[in-house]
Structure 1
Amino acid sequence: MEGVSWKSPILEGAYDVCGWLAFIFWSGCLYPQLFLNFRRKSVVGLNFNYALMNNTKHTVYFIYNACFYFSPQVQSQYRSKYGLRQMIPVAANDVALSFHSVVLTLLTLFQIAIYDRGNQAVSKFTIIMLVGVWLGVVVCYFVALPSHSWLWFLSVLTSIQVCMTSIKYIPQALMNCLRRSTEGFSIGYVLLDFSGGTLNYAQMIMQSIDQNSWVNLYGNIGKVLLSLVSMSFDVVFMCQHYLLYPSKKESHSSKLDQEIAEPLVTDGDISAVTIPHKSPTTHAVKTV
Structure 2
Amino acid sequence: MDTLTSTSANTWPIISNIIGWTYFLSWSCSFYPQTILNFKRKSVQGLSIDFLYYNVFGFLCYSIFNLAFFFSEDVQDEYRRRHQDSDNLVRANDVLFAVHAFLISFLTLSQTFIFKSDQKLSVTAKTFLLTFIVFILTAIGAVFTEYIKWIDVLYFLSYIKLLISFIKYIPQLWMNYRRKSTIGWSIHNILLDLSGGILSVAQLVLDAAISGDWSGITGDPVKFGLGFVAIVFDLLFMSQHYIFYRERYDFYLAVDDSERQALLPTEQS
- State the TM-score, normalizing by the size of structure 2: 0.89
Residue range with higher mean Cα deviation, 136-145 or 6-15:
6-15
Counterpart contact for 1:158–1:222, Cα < 8 Å: yes
Partner of 2:110: 110
1:1-288 → structure 2 map (5 Å cutoff) = 8-84=9-85, 86-117=86-117, 119-147=118-146, 149-246=149-246, 248-249=247-248, 252-254=249-251, 256-258=252-254, 261-263=255-257
For residue 139 of structure 2, what is the amino acid of its counterpart?
A: C
For 1:154 and 1:145, locate their aligned partners in 2 and report how far apart those are by CA, in whole Å: 15
Partner of 1:277: none
Q: Tell me by how many angstroms 1:168 deviates.
A: 0.4
Q: What is the Cα-based RMSD across aligned positions, in Å?
A: 1.9
Q: Tell me by how many angstroms 1:108 deviates.
A: 0.6
Structure in which a larger fraction of residues adopt helix? 2
Counterpart contact for 2:201–2:228, Cα < 8 Å: no
For 2:207 and 2:159, locate their aligned partners in 1 and report how far apart those are by CA, in whole Å: 23
For residue 168 of structure 2, what is the amino acid of its counterpart?
A: K
Post-superposition CA distance 1:173-202 (Å, at most 9, x none): 000001111110011111111101111111
SS of 1:182's equivalent in the other structure is coil
Post-superposition CA distance 1:75-121 (Å, at most 9, x none): 1111111111x23210011111111011101111110111142x322
Assess, with a 3 A threshold, how the Cα gap between structure 1 residues 253 and 159 changes in structure 2: closer, same or farther. same
Matched positions, count: 253
Q: Tell me by how many angstroms 1:264 deviates.
A: 7.5
- Point out where structure 1 has 5 or more consecutive residues left out of the alignment: 1-5, 266-288
For 2:51 and 2:155, locate their aligned partners in 1 and report how far apart those are by CA, in whole Å: 23
- Point out where structure 2 has 5 or more consecutive residues left out of the alignment: 1-5, 260-269
SS of 1:196's equivalent in the other structure is helix
For 2:80 and 2:179, locate their aligned partners in 1 and report how far apart those are by CA, in whole Å: 50
Q: Share of identical aligned residues, percent?
A: 33
Assess, with a 3 A threshold, how the Cα gap between structure 1 residues 128 and 226 changes in structure 2: closer, same or farther. same
For 1:142 and 1:22, locate their aligned partners in 2 and report how far apart those are by CA, in whole Å: 36
Structure with higher Rg: it is: 1
